[in-house]
């Protein structure tokens, strides 16, 4: 197609597109279209038809028409992009790529944050949650030994296990006064106890299937002394408390004597094997025993005790050792590390 043929074809195309409108006739087809604003009539369908004309025109005329239709810059619809359009396209692609990278980063950060929250949640649940489902406490007794009769129980001497043995060496003393309790706690050792801190040790035993707490100390350590002993949960919530005759208050139940001597004392202690309903709600398990030697602090001290706690990790059940004997037997209570005491067996438990 020659240049004249191309211009004639363009004239005919846009005259048909004008549809009989009054037009200002101009010989140059590009100026004719511009002056009469005929590009406003060029829709997608008509542009595709005009593209068939452009493909047969000389290249110079094609470029002129494409610039006119594109508003002065080449369009991808009618030919190759200009340098500016190529730069703009590259910037758009870079922006899209940056957006995709940022989206990927956001997804990874969100996933990492969610994983961290899950890990933290699991840790907090293990530390502060209710823990695994339990059916029994950490302190467990073996089956009752065989009895030869109402006055004797088969078995050897009471020999303690280290996990269930403790010394009463924790001094807790509070001075009398109106200041906050924390300001009145005495940290220095004071000489108001009948024995030195750590001189009395304690352990747990089983006698014919019944729990026993044994105290071993210097000769005469238990004479008139107040010992308060509690079976506790892992957070020291008391489940059962007993007291000796030397206690002036009525906290806990009076203790029953199983074996009595100048250097050893054994008291019956009910240790529940299963769950125990708590007054404030929920349940607890026997996971330890808390012992206190309480003395009268007089006018100077509001509270004066020597304490020790036999604590067993709820995850590790520890079997309480058993012993046997007959009423009237002289028993040697061995708590290990040279802590021995003697006592006379008074009675065989009547209930298991």
Confidence band of 292 (pLDDT split at 50, 70, 90):
very high
Helix orientation angle between 59-69 and 44-54, rounded to the nearest 10 degrees = 160
At 167 the three-state DSSP class reads strand
Task: Find residue 46's DSSP bridge partners.
Answer: none
Instruction: Supply the mean pLDDT for the chain.
Output: 82
Task: Find residue 264's DSSP bridge partners.
Answer: 216
- The overall pTM is greater than 0.85: no
Structure confidence at residue 88 (pLDDT): 54
pLDDT in tens, 259-279: 999 999 999 988 887 788 887
> Does residue 2 have a pLDDT over 50?
yes
DSSP output for 40-98:
GG--HHHHHHHHHHHTTS-HHHHHHHHHHHTTSS--TTTSPPPHHHHHHHHHHHHHHHH
The CA–CA distances, whole Å, from 176 to 208, 209, 250, 292, 303 equal: 45, 44, 22, 20, 8
Structure confidence at residue 305 (pLDDT): 95
The contacts of residue 326 (CB under 8 Å, 6+ apart) are 148, 151, 152, 153, 345, 348
> Does residue 222 have a pLDDT over 50?
yes
The CA–CA distances, whole Å, from 282 to 92, 190, 276, 303, 331 equal: 64, 40, 8, 31, 41
pLDDT in tens, 188-203: 988 899 999 999 999 9
The DSSP bridge pattern shows strands 170-175 and 301-311 to be antiparallel
């Amino acid at each position: 197609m020659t240049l004249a043929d191309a211009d004639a074809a363009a004239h005919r195309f846009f005259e048909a597109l004008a549809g009989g409108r009054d037009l200002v006739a101009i010989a140059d087809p590009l100026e004719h279209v511009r002056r009469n604003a005929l590009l406003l009539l060029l829709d997608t369908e008509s542009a595709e038809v005009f593209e068939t004309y452009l493909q047969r025109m000389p290249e110079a005329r094609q470029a002129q028409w494409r610039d006119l239709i594109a508003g002065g810059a080449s369009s991808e619809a009618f030919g190759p992009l200009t340098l500016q359009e190529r730069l703009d396209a590259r910037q758009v692609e870079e922006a899209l790529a940056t957006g995709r990278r940022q989206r990927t980063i956001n997804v990874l950060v969100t996933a990492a944050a969610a994983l961290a929250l899950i890990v933290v949640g699991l840790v907090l649940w293990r530390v502060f949650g209710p823990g695994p489902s339990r059916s029994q406490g950490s302190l467990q007794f073996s089956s009752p030994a065989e009895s030869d009769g109402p006055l004797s129980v088969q078995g050897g001497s009471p020999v303690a296990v280290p996990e269930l043995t403790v010394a009463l060496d924790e001094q807790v003393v509070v001075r009398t006064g109106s200041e906050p309790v924390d300001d009145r706690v005495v940290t220095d050792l004071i000489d108001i106890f009948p024995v030195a801190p750590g001189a009395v040790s304690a352990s747990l035993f089983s006698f014919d299937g019944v729990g026993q707490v044994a105290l071993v100390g210097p000769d005469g350590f238990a004479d008139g002394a107040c010992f308060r002993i509690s079976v506790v949960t892992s957070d020291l919530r008391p489940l059962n408390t007993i007291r000796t005759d030397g206690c002036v208050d009525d906290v806990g139940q009076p203790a029953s004597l199983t074996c009595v001597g100048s250097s050893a004392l054994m008291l019956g202690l009910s240790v529940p094997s299963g769950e125990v309903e708590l007054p404030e709600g929920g349940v607890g398990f026997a996971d330890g025993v808390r012992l206190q030697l309480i003395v009268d602090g007089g006018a100077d001290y509001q509270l004066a005790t020597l304490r020790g706690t036999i604590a067993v990790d709820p995850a590790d059940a520890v079997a309480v050792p058993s012993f046997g004997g007959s009423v009237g037997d002289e028993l040697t209570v061995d708590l290990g590390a040279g802590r021995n005491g003697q006592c006379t067996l008074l009675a065989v438990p009547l209930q298991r």
